Amino acid sequence: MDKASPAAALAAIYECLLAAYGPQNWWPARSPFEVMVGAILTQSAAWGNVEKAISRLEEAGALSAAALRRINEAELSNLIYCCGYYRAKARKLKALAEWLKEACNDDLGRLFAADIESLRRQLLAVHGIGPETADSILLYAAAKPTFVIDAYTRRILSRLGLALGKESYDDLKRLFEENLPVDVPLYNEYHALLVRHGKDVCRQKPLCQGCCLKDMCNYWRDDAG
């Protein structure tokens, strides 16, 4: 990518992606709690399978923190089987439900009233919640201004020349947060657009010819052009 400032480069990328794909209306969920469940289920899973698992949880009356605490772990594993790593994810969901009881008596409004730094520390202390899952919960469920970094984002930034590929999660998170306005809808839409582009075009084997970012892409210029 040309030597634009990080702020100018990130703004240009966003405008190109938005023009190419339009608003993504992400995260598709009917409640903040459903977002939290989905953030765990989507770990190493396709979103279509997450939607199936959430539907099965709802049909079984298990889509609440209280219900997740009551349900047998084996039964819960069976309900979310389609997401992969279902036993591990069942334990993670039960850990989330237990934490919600201790932290806020299942009152998400009370929980989300905490400041972002405190809430992020609490989330990262819950079994099965790492930085990406914590930030997904903070952004999409709690509407806190934190940028989510995932494998798609890392790949796109590396190919564009905005990252070397060895940066830490927090390094890339700071890149966005220090060079974009602090704005929840912007962070939401930008991350969703990066995911869309990573899935549809900037794959491991990229479809460069149809890429809306190819004119600013080092990979296209140096390797594929």
Domain residue ranges in the chain = 6-25+148-224, 32-141
Q: Return the pLDDT at 81.
A: 97
> Does residue 120 contact residue 134 with C-beta atoms inside 8 Å?
yes
3-state DSSP assignment of residue 112: helix
- Of the pLDDT bands very low, low, confident and very high (cuts 50, 70, 90), residue 213 is very high
Q: Under CATH, to which class is 32-141 assigned?
A: mainly alpha
Q: What ranges in 105-168 are assigned the alpha helix state H?
A: 108-112, 116-124, 131-136, 151-160
How far is it, in rounded angstroms, from Cα 216 to Cα 159?
A: 10
Q: Could you check whether the bond before residue 27 is cis, i.e. omega within 30 degrees of 0?
A: yes
- Of the pLDDT bands very low, low, confident and very high (cuts 50, 70, 90), residue 193 is very high
Task: Check pLDDT > 90 for residue 32.
Answer: yes
Q: Return the pLDDT at 1.
A: 65
Q: Amino acid identity of 71?
A: I
Is domain 6-25+148-224 annotated with CATH 2.40.30.10?
no
Q: Return the pLDDT at 222.
A: 78
Dihedral over Cα of 56, 61, 66, 70: its sign: negative
- Of the pLDDT bands very low, low, confident and very high (cuts 50, 70, 90), residue 49 is very high
Q: Which tens digit of pLDDT belongs to each residue from 113-150? A: 999 999 999 999 999 999 999 999 999 999 999 999 99
How far is it, in rounded angstroms, from Cα 86 to Cα 41?
A: 8
> Does residue 37 contact residue 94 with C-beta atoms inside 8 Å?
no
Strands, E, within 6-130: which ranges? none
